[in-house]
Amino acid sequence: MSETETPIRGFKLALLTFALALGTFIQILDTSIATVAIPTIAGNLAVSTSDGTWIITSFSASNAIVLPLTGWLSSQLGRTRLFIISTIGFSLTSWLCGIAWNLPSLVLFRTLQGAVAGTLIPLSQTLLLMNYPKNRQSFALAIWTMVVVTAPVLGPVLGGWITYDYGWEWIFYINIPLGFLSAYLTWFILKGRDSERKKLPIDYFALVLLILSVSSLQIALDKGNQWDWFRSTKVNILFVTFIISTTCFLVWNRLSKAPVIDFKLFKNLNFVLGTVLVTIGFVLYFGGTVLMPLWVQNSLGYTPLLAGLAVMSIGIGPVITSIPVSRWMEKYDLRTLVTISFLIFAATFYWYTDLNTEVDFWGIAIPRFWQGFAISIFFLPLVKLSLFDLPKEELASGSGVFNFIRILFGGGIGTSLSITFYNRRAVLFHSNIAESIDAMRPEFISWTRHLKSLGFSKMEAIELLNDSVNQQSETIALINYFWLSALLFILSSPLIWLCKKVKAA
């Protein structure tokens, strides 16, 4: 059946919004919720914590591979049908993850889960835009943005609570009823409104090259720090595979009559610049989101739950401002809104450059709260600016490529680079501080004697000093990251003014 042009209104539209948002929410939530459960899962399955990170790597790699195929899969099955199949598949693979009996089985099921979930983010976005009235599309994107932003924030908190109170299996089991509810409501409302199905060809050799490219890069970045980067033969092989497969893919896909990724999308300047800017923003934003909980646990002694609560305040801003932002988009130049968001990001990251090991809970939570306002103003206008003038038949494909680049580079690559920067700077500062202490040897001896007079042994005194050095070096490394982030947000903000002027209305 062909998709009707008549938008949905009233209660059915609200119900559809809930259904699509729910499908998106559980997929994004699952990306982050498993992170805090890795030590528990690894212990229960009798493997090391470093091996347990394959749970994250396998999901991320397969999820990223499927994202750019959204347009082709939608033409084969129809947008609505594909969303329903993906949501049900996600629920079933979540059940398989919950019953996994060892690490290889869990990694296999997580790979399948990531693959079937790959289309959910772009399809939910596309289906909202296709079924909302034109003058309400900004509102639809506001709801979608609120879900996309708050789900990763809630993930670590929910993951810690569920794992501690109920067991790690339940971080997967909770997806089952929610996924089936989302699929049923979507089918109930959109049956008879699916897009036209077209049996379009696809270049399978190009698809194999894409799989090799994305998976080798994702694994190299996720495991690079653990394997000591380019000192490791495995990392070198993975990067060589990535370079060769990516080069071959770009050439082959460009000449193919049935390309996996339609390069015509990149002739649209707004699409290119919007994708670049949203990727830069996500690289810096997600890097800070990963590093801050790590730092407060290592340097301040926070529990995983308390660390999650400290950074969770960033989710308040999008809930408050997403709807007003949708109205502002109809009144003001989108480029102005994006510029404001970049300046708020720069200001909040600069705020954090005054961090020290004496900071309290609110000293961490309040800047994150204000950063939440930047997120809602940043993401929603960039989505609209990037996709606003794509032809309807290219919308699913464009959304897939947009989110593919955002998630792969903004999430996977950005997170790995941020952690590497943090670790390397911490090691450098640790060495510098240790040299300074060695240069003050008489003072150090006097300090250890003072601790011994308080009842500490010499070994305990040295351990206290080492802990203090670690805290200071990690704090300085984190401050360096925040300085760099603030600077990059300021430097990249003028790029938005190269885009065409757009108003959501």
Q: Whose CA is closest to 448, among 466, 473, 472, 475? A: 466
Specify whether 191 is located in the same domain as 212: no
User: Which of 147, 164, 199 lies at the terminal end of a domain, its last residue?
Assistant: 199
Domain of 214, in residue numbers? 203-259
Give the torsion sign (CA, 224, 229, 230, 233). Answer: negative
Per-residue pLDDT of the chain (505 residues; tens, 9 = 90+): 444 457 787 888 888 888 998 888 888 888 777 766 777 888 888 887 667 778 877 887 788 888 888 888 888 888 899 999 999 999 999 999 999 999 899 999 999 999 999 889 888 888 888 888 877 777 777 777 778 777 777 777 787 788 778 888 998 999 999 999 999 999 999 887 776 777 778 888 988 998 899 888 878 877 787 787 888 899 999 999 999 999 999 999 888 888 888 788 888 889 999 999 998 998 888 788 778 877 887 788 877 677 778 888 887 888 788 778 878 888 888 899 999 999 999 999 999 998 888 888 899 999 999 998 898 788 888 888 888 777 777 777 787 788 788 877 766 677 777 877 887 888 787 676 655 555 555 555 565 666 566 665 655 555 656 667 777 888 888 999 999 999 999 999 999 999 888 654 4
Specify whether 226 is located in the same domain as 90: no
Number of separate domains in the chain? 3
What's the predicted TM-score (pTM) here? 0.78
Q: Report the distance separating Cα 403 and Cα 386, nearest Å.
A: 11
Specify whether 308 is located in the same domain as 429: yes
Q: Report the distance separating Cα 280 and Cα 346, nearest Å.
A: 13
Query: Residue 72 sits in a domain of what CATH number?
Result: 1.20.1250.20
Specify whether 181 is located in the same domain as 328: no
Q: Report the distance separating Cα 280 and Cα 417, nearest Å.
A: 12
Phi and psi at 101, nearest 5°, equal -105, -15
pLDDT of residue 1: 40
Tokens of 145: 């943005």
Specify whether 174 is located in the same domain as 300: no
Q: Whose CA is closest to 44, among 111, 93, 105? A: 105
Specify whether 180 is located in the same domain as 211: no
Tell me whether residue 265 is in a domain.
no
Specify whether 504 is located in the same domain as 440: yes
Specify whether 118 is located in the same domain as 211: no
391-395: long-range contacts, CB 8 A cutoff, minimum separation 24: 392/130, 394/71, 394/262, 394/264, 394/265, 395/126, 395/129, 395/130
Specify whether 29 is located in the same domain as 154: yes
Specify whether 209 is located in the same domain as 188: no
